[in-house]
Amino acid sequence: MAAPLLGAGLAVTPLWAQDAGIPLSTCLHEAQGVTVEMLDCLDAEHVRLDDILNQVWSEAMSELEDDMADALQSSQRDWLAYRDSTCNTEAAFQGGGSFSGVAVLDCRVRLVGERIDWLKGLLDLPSSTSRTVQ
């Protein structure tokens, strides 16, 4: 028996998930539980957030002194390993079925959004993730 989706990201839509196009929560609602459509929603959101993460990352690296940039780069490598391990674990709790792909993408969307906010905090930029239940 598969465990419920751990991330709860399907029920919580941060504001960064609403910045462009259809909000993730709306897309997931319109998917009506069809796994392939949920995957499309989550994949589009993951790509969008990954682009934002790359922009914030580039900005951070351009503003930091060498020792701080080295520390951030090391942290990013560790975070990528954490992200992959965490999301693969959440997928494993789905029992290996077709919903495990949804679990991986849901986890990645959540963790990438959190990483964006963390990086913005380092740069003293306004955070865009006010978590709201929709």
pLDDT of 115: 95
38's CB contacts (< 8 A; 6+ apart) are 28, 31, 102
Domain assignment of residue 109, given as a range: 15-122
Angle CA 48–50–53, to nearest 5: 115
The verdict on residue 117 lying in a domain is yes
Q: Give the closest residue to 4 by CA, choosing from 78, 90, 67.
A: 90
The verdict on residue 116 lying in a domain is yes
The verdict on residue 127 lying in a domain is no
* Residue 70, Cβ density class (10 Å: 0-12 exposed, 13-18 middle, ≥19 buried): exposed
The verdict on residue 2 lying in a domain is no
Q: Pick the residue with more confidence: 18 or 75? A: 75
Please say if the pLDDT value at position 133 is more than 90: no
The verdict on residue 133 lying in a domain is no
**For residue 113, what is the domain's CATH number?**
1.20.1270
Query: What is the number of structural domains in the chain?
Result: 1
pLDDT of 98: 81
The verdict on residue 8 lying in a domain is no
Residues 49-64 pLDDT 10s: 999 999 999 988 988 8
Please say if the pLDDT value at position 10 is more than 80: no
Residue 126: pLDDT band (50, 70, 90) is low
The verdict on residue 101 lying in a domain is yes
pLDDT of 23: 86
The verdict on residue 129 lying in a domain is no
The DSSP result for 1-38, as a single string, is -PPPPSS-TTTB--GGGGSSSS-HHHHHHHHTT-HHHH
User: What would the two tokens of residue 55 be?
Assistant: 């922009």
C-alpha 84: how far from its chain's center?
11
pLDDT of 58: 92
